[in-house]
Amino acid sequence: MNKRFIIYGILLAVAAVLLQVLQYKLVLVNHSLELYGGILAAIFTLVGITAGKRFAGKKEILIEKQVPVYINAPARHPFELNDKALEKTGISKRELEILELMAAGMSNQEIADKLFVSIHTIKTHTSNLFLKLDVKRRTQAVTKARALQLIA
């Protein structure tokens, strides 16, 4: 009797496996496009991730540099604007303001944003400053303006 149960159990297991195989075949036939599309999507995803890791730029390295600050530095005397040099060069108040912002290291776009004017206006004022100070570059303009005591 035990032998019969074992044989019936094995036959039922084989029949269940056959039914599952037939069901998978049926699924493959009826939904083959979706399955192949899913497999293809998975392959492209894996290839994209692998390529992204391989070809992505290296991580940015941040180097921190410590700069000593001297608290007991000698006090500078207050800046006094040289009115005679200002009149002699013919620099307007707006041009002087732009010259100070140039000395602070701001770009033309940053100056335009800060003063709420177009970049073309800043370029025009800069060209006028270069003519009035008889220089060709921003650094020369700042150096000459400091020498003439127009800016601090």
Give CA–CA dist 142/100, Å, rounded. Answer: 8
pTM value?
0.49
Q: What's the pLDDT band for 68 if we cut at 50, 70, 90?
A: confident
Residue 129: how many CB atoms within 10 A of its CB? 23
The amino acid that residue 12 corresponds to is L
What DSSP character marks residue 78? P
Give CA–CA dist 3/9, Å, rounded. Answer: 10
| Of 3 and 131, more confident | 131
Residue 42: per-residue pLDDT: 92
Q: Across all residues in the chain, what is the average pLDDT? A: 84
Average pLDDT over residues 69-78: 60
Kindly report the CATH number that applies to the domain delimited by 83-147.
1.10.10.10
pLDDT at 29 over 90: no
Is residue 120 a contact partner of residue 127, using CB atoms and an 8 Å limit?
no
